């Protein structure tokens, strides 16, 4: 690939690739990925992660001894640049990460290279990208086959990846729930997000990202905000050398038990079994407890969410009392083993303070999470020196705020990625505002 060869010569500021991967260099991995992608798209059918052997770490060396974020595999997708607008090329990276128990794990992220990067050359370095957005797509399910790296082959749900690529940013979309689809497990998601950035920054220079000056932003809404917020918290101790310019968070869910109580018996009740089984994949004792306490006649119905997307689970469990699936009802979800799980993975605000600017946008009438939990999280961070802009929207629901907050999130992200943040926003302390943005039509869960 001529573009690859040119950029390999052009960019000498590529982050060093450790000898921890002894058999192949990054250059060799990318060359092989490009050769494999020569298969015509018409004859290429992606396999879901549960069936695709590529979604497994290498067997030729001890990958667990590599450092977090180390790239283990690379492949080019012959379809993803067709299903996501404004993408020149798309690569998938399998990288070393760390689970909620701080054991070696692996994850996958999908890197999209913006179309205008084709203008990047040695004679026009000003046209080469200088920003990376890690975009945490909400997928809210304990079904690994609903991971973004697979689902994006069939289209992009919100158009935000294409819009970010249209601004000339590199965009990475991690499967932050990991190989076990650990939905709602905060530490797992935060580690996967941070390590995804590390992995991308190893290879992005080979495609023309100006890694020496590039700024990195994180963005997520709802389940995606869960991953991005935990990454912002954990960065201070897990990735202390990583420079993140800013984090945008919408539709936050700071308290996993509070979300469960909010959703039970309502339209989105199907997210409760998804969340319980997802977070418990990181806590085997809790997983065994959950399964053991399910009413025998209802056990398989409850466990069927492991094969569902979020939308399918919402449709299947709409308005149901999820506590009724358990022998002991509500009490079964608040035993010691469950509380230990929640304490590790379920409560934001206890693992570190974001060192980067943060933008939080939330509907006051959000039906998925109590706005008081978001207020409390902001107060906690503001009390110890965080720099936060917090918009409390007086109109709209959780679903509507995704649309109502999009333009503000993009504007804020542009400021942190182009260096104008200090001129447009307060760079000290917290700014908390009640706002009214009513752009979205009513949209249901379905």
Which residue numbers are catalytic? 222, 366, 398
Q: Which residues of 253-276 are buried (b: 16+ CB within 10 A; e: fewer)?
A: bbbbebbbebbbeebbbbbbbbbb
Would the CA dihedral through 361, 364, 370, 372 be positive or negative? positive
Q: CA nearest 263: which of 293, 204, 222?
A: 222
E-strand stretches of 369-421: 388-393
Report the interhelical angle of 26-36 vs 186-203 (nearest 10°). 90
Cα 261 to its chain centre, rounded Å, is: 24
CB 3 within 8 A of CB 118: yes
What token pair was written down for 402? 């995704």
Q: CA nearest 414: which of 87, 179, 166?
A: 166
Taking every pair of C-alpha atoms in the chain, what is the biggest distance, in angstroms?
69
- 176-179: long-range contacts (C-beta < 8 A, 24 or more apart)? 176/107, 176/136, 176/227, 177/139, 177/142, 177/144, 177/147, 177/278, 178/97, 178/99, 178/105, 178/106, 178/107, 179/49, 179/55, 179/105, 179/106, 179/107, 179/144
Q: CA nearest 107: which of 47, 63, 162, 153?
A: 63
Report the interhelical angle of 223-238 vs 186-203 (nearest 10°). 70
Number of other residues whose CB lies within 10 A of the CB of residue 320? 17
3-state secondary structure of 88: strand
Query: Distances in Å between the alpha carbon of 407 and those of 160, 250, 252, 348, 437?
Result: 10, 12, 17, 26, 10
Pairing of strands 131-136, 170-174: parallel
């Amino acid at each position: 690939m001529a573009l690859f060869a040119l950029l390999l010569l052009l960019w000498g500021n590529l982050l060093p690739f450790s000898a921890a991967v002894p058999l192949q260099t990054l250059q060799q991995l990318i060359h092989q990925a490009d050769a494999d992608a020569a298969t015509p798209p018409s004859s290429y059918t992606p396999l879901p992660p549960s069936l695709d052997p590529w979604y497994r770490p290498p067997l030729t060396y001890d990958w667990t001894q590599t450092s977090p974020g180390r790239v283990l595999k690379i492949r080019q997708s012959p379809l993803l640049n067709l299903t996501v607008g404004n993408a020149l090329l798309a690569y998938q990276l399998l990288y070393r990460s760390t689970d909620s128990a701080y054991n070696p794990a692996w994850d996958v992220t999908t890197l999209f290279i913006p179309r205008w990067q084709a203008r990047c050359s040695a004679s026009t370095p000003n046209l080469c990208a200088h920003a990376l957005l890690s975009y945490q797509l909400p997928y809210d399910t304990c079904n690994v086959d609903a991971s973004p790296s697979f689902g994006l082959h069939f289209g992009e749900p919100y158009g935000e990846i294409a819009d970010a690529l249209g601004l000339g940013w590199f965009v990475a979309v991690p499967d932050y729930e990991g190989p076990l689809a650990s939905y709602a497990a905060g530490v797992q998601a935060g580690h996967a997000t941070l390590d995804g950035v590390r992995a991308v920054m190893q290879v992005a220079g080979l495609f023309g990202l100006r890694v020496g000056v590039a700024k990195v932003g994180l963005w997520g809404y709802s389940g995606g905000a869960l991953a991005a917020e935990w990454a912002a918290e954990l960065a201070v101790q897990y990735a202390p050398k990583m420079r993140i310019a800013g984090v945008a968070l919408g539709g936050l869910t700071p308290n996993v038990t509070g979300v469960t109580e909010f959703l039970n018996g309502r339209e989105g009740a199907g997210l409760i079994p998804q969340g319980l089984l997802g977070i418990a994949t990181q806590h085997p004792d809790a997983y065994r407890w959950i399964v053991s306490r399910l009413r025998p006649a209802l056990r398989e119905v409850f466990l069927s969410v492991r094969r569902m997307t979020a939308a399918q689970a919402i449709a299947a469990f709409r308005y149901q009392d999820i506590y009724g699936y358990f022998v002991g009802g509500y009490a079964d979800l608040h035993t010691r083993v469950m509380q230990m799980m929640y304490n590790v993975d379920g409560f934001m605000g206890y693992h570190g303070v974001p060192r980067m600017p943060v933008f939080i946008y939330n509907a006051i009438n959000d039906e998925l999470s109590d706005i008081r939990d978001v207020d409390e999280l902001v107060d906690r961070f503001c009390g110890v020196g965080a720099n936060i802009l917090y918009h409390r929207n007086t109109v709209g629901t959780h679903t509507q705020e995704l649309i109502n907050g999009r333009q503000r999130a993009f504007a804020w992200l542009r400021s942190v990625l182009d260096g104008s943040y200090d001129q447009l926003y307060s760079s000290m302390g917290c700014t908390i505002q009640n706002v009214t943005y009513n752009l979205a039509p009513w949209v249901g869960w379905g």
